[in-house]
Amino acid sequence: ILASCCGERGEHCGRRSAQSREQTYVMVKPDGVQRGLVGEIISRFERKGFRLAGLKMFQCPKDLAKKHYEELQEKPFFPKLVKYITSGPVVCMAWEGPGVVASARKLIGSTNPLQAEPGTIRGDLAVAVGRNVIHGSDSVANGEREIGLWFGEAELCKWHLELTPWLLE
């Protein structure tokens, strides 16, 4: 089925449409790493059915933290936020799949963990906005921008998820 459906360029194939190749940048923040939540978080995205396109552990330098959060630089909590993100290693991930940007935000839950729904990562695993465990891009454009910031081209792995026919029609 795969061979006859997905040609070299795959332009006719729903499973390889632009929408199913949407990507988002997800990051376990230093508190999530220190609290041993990396496996649990990766598991939730894997079980949902997204494809892991990039994964690394990384000590974020200050200038990258500032660039990543540049939209928030006028906020009073910005210096604290940069200190938090650079306070220890983070785990950087690129996840791919249909509607992955919005879906990841749902899996993650509201920014303030006390307002995040139970069942979401922040709702289940955090209590403070300044220690909310995880980041997820808030738009497709920011997903692309952030993956470009945090990953080199060679760090992103193109591989075929053999389960695709069981996940996508």
Report d(CA 82, CA 63) in Å as an integer: 9
What residues numbered 1-30 form the site for ligand ADP, per CB under 6 A? none
Q: Angle between the 100-108 and 140-150 helix axes, to the nearest 10 degrees? A: 80
Report d(CA 27, CA 29) in Å as an integer: 6
Q: Is 9 assigned to a binding site?
A: no
**Is there binding between residue 38 and ligand ADP (CB under 6 A)?**
no
Contact characters 131-150, ligand ADP, x per CB under 6 A: -x--x--x------------
Report d(CA 65, CA 78) in Å as an integer: 10
Q: Is 103 in contact with 26 (CB distance < 8 Å)?
A: no
Report d(CA 148, CA 41) in Å as an integer: 22
**Is there binding between residue 81 and ligand ADP (CB under 6 A)?**
yes
Q: Is 44 assigned to a binding site?
A: no
Residues classed as catalytic: 135
Q: Closest residue to ligand ADP, Cβ-based? A: 111
The residues of the shown chain that bind ligand ADP, judged by CB under 6 A, are 72, 77, 81, 111, 129-130, 132, 135, 138
**Which residue numbers belong to the known binding site?**
29, 77, 105, 111, 122, 132
